[in-house]
Structure formats: C-alpha cells, structure tokens
A and B are shown apart, each in its own frame.
Chain A
C-alpha cells in the first residue's frame, strides 16, 4: 500500500492519473443527472398530456 504523500503524487504521473479519474467521475455523474432529467421531463410531458385530455373531455361533457 502507498504512503499518503506518494498516493497523491502517483509516482510522478499525478497530472495524468487524477484527471482520468476526475473525468470518469464526471461521466458517471452526467449519466445519472441526464437520465433522471430525461425521465422527469417525460413524466411531466405525460402528466400534461393527461391533464389536457381530461380538460378536453370536461369541455365536451359541458
């Protein structure tokens, strides 16, 4: 196992290793965020469509 100091230095390759792991974290976070946003937007659109449908039905009934 590495010591604390050598862990962050990564044997002199820190400027290559850490950006790779940071990018991986960004890619994973973006995937979670965009998938949830996509689903939430679809839910909103479907709910709006249901409300519109219900209001058109009410107007026709009256």
Chain B
C-alpha cells in the first residue's frame, strides 16, 4: 500500500510523474479559473456594503490562502528532507519558494488596493497585514539562503530550518483577526460553521481557490522537474530521460 509513497523519494519517478501531471493540472486550472473569473466578475451580485469593490476577493483571498498553504507545504517538505534526508523533500521545498512568494505579493498588493476604498488607506500596521508581510520576508529569506552556501546540501538544510521555524507565522496570520483588534474582516469561508457569504458569491470564490490550487500543482510540477534535473545531472537515468 505504501509503495507509491516510497516511490516519491525516487528522482526519476518524481521527474516522470511531474511531467505526466503538469498538463492535466494546467488544463483543469484554466477551466476552474476561467469559470471563477467570469462568474465572479459578471454574475455574482454586488455586496450590499462594499458594492463591486468586493470582487477583489476573487483574487485576494485565493492569493492569501495560497501564500500560507504553499509556505506550510514548503516547511513540511523541508522537514522531510531534513529529518529523513530525502533529497526530493528539499527539491519540493526549493520549487515551492518562488511560487509562494509571488502569491504573497499578490495577496499584499490586492489587499492594499482593497483597503484604500474600504479603510481609507493602502496600508496599516494591522496584525493581519503585518504578519502577511512577515511571511513575504520569510519567503525572501528562504529564497536567499539556499544559494548563499557553496555546498548545496548545506544550503538545503539551512533553508529547511528557516522554513520550519517560520511556519509558526502561519497560525498567527490565520488567527490574527481573532486574537487582536484588526481592520481586516474575520474568516468568511475557512471557519467552523456555515460560510458567512451568499452562495452566489461563494461558488466563484471556491472555483478560484480550486483553480489556484490546480495552477500551483501545475507550476510546481514544471519547477520540480527543473529542480530534479539540476540535482541529478550526473545520474545515469537523466541520459535516458533527455533522449
């Protein structure tokens, strides 16, 4: 039963698996993101308080969700690489970092553009905004730390350690709106009980979230293939894979 799991530690298996999954993920992501954008911009009703400005949620919330999800995955993959010395763990962590950083920038900038008409300011040192900014700094740290070492294995270990230590920021981001007084609204979907959003607004949001997950899967597969090749350049299977 667990054979498939052990296979994930094998570079040639991961390389071919990522190549097989990537086009499916890209195709499904295009469908779900396309539906989400059309439904969210054209058919969802305007919010009774925020009017059409609420439509920013369809890019802001998936961006913010992806930023924390990818960071957590990066820390878990780094921990697998660090504890069990599985090279593919470090490869996944390295592939996650630039994608996660880009989604964090998306969350911060779209949040700022949403904040101006709703709060009257582009930026406030609010707990949610500040903890999300710290997440961006953590991504930048992980991205900078790995190539800072001449020995690639040491760079992997240092980046994994930073990612693991920084994962403490993920629950802080999520609960910042509960623990402290915040300008930011409380959770709408990711909470216990019924989502506090109308179904007509919720479906495009869920579609965008799913689309971003699939999109992440697709670009992770492509990046991971590059990571595996960079790490396994001398291996005999690479010759066969490239022919």
Contact for A7 among B33, B41, B63, B227, CB less than 8 A? B41
A21 to B41, CA, bound (A): 10
Within 8 A of A (CB), among B52-86: 52-53, 55-56, 58-60, 63
Q: Are the C-beta atoms of A16 and B114 separated by less than 8 Å?
A: yes
Residue of A nearest to B225 (CB): A39
* Interface of B, helix, strand, loop or mixed by DSSP: helix
Q: Tell me how far the C-beta of A49 lies from the nearest C-beta in chain B, rounded to whole angstroms.
A: 5
Which residues of chain B have C-beta atoms less than 8 A from A16's C-beta?
53, 56, 113-114, 116-117
Q: Are the C-beta atoms of B52 and A17 separated by less than 8 Å?
A: yes
Residue of A nearest to B220 (CB): A35
Q: Are the C-beta atoms of B53 and A13 separated by less than 8 Å?
A: yes
Which residues of chain A have C-beta atoms less than 8 A from B113's C-beta?
16, 19-20
**A-side interface size class:** 20 to 34
**With contact pairs A2-B42, A17-B52, A49-B234 given, residues A23 and B59 touching in the complex (Cβ less than 8 Å):** yes
Q: Which chain A residues have a beta carbon within 8 Å of chain B's beta carbons?
A: 1-2, 7, 10-13, 16-17, 19-21, 23-24, 27-28, 30-32, 34-36, 38-43, 45-47, 49-50
Show 14 residue pairs from A and B whose CB-CB distance is below 8 angstroms, ordered by the A residue: A10-B55, A11-B52, A21-B41, A21-B59, A23-B59, A27-B106, A28-B33, A31-B215, A38-B226, A39-B223, A41-B226, A42-B225, A42-B226, A43-B242
Q: Which chain B residues have a beta carbon within 8 Å of chain A's beta carbons?
A: 33, 37, 41-43, 46, 51-53, 55-56, 58-60, 63, 98-99, 102-103, 105-106, 109-110, 113-114, 116-117, 215, 219, 222-223, 225-227, 229-230, 233-234, 238-239, 242
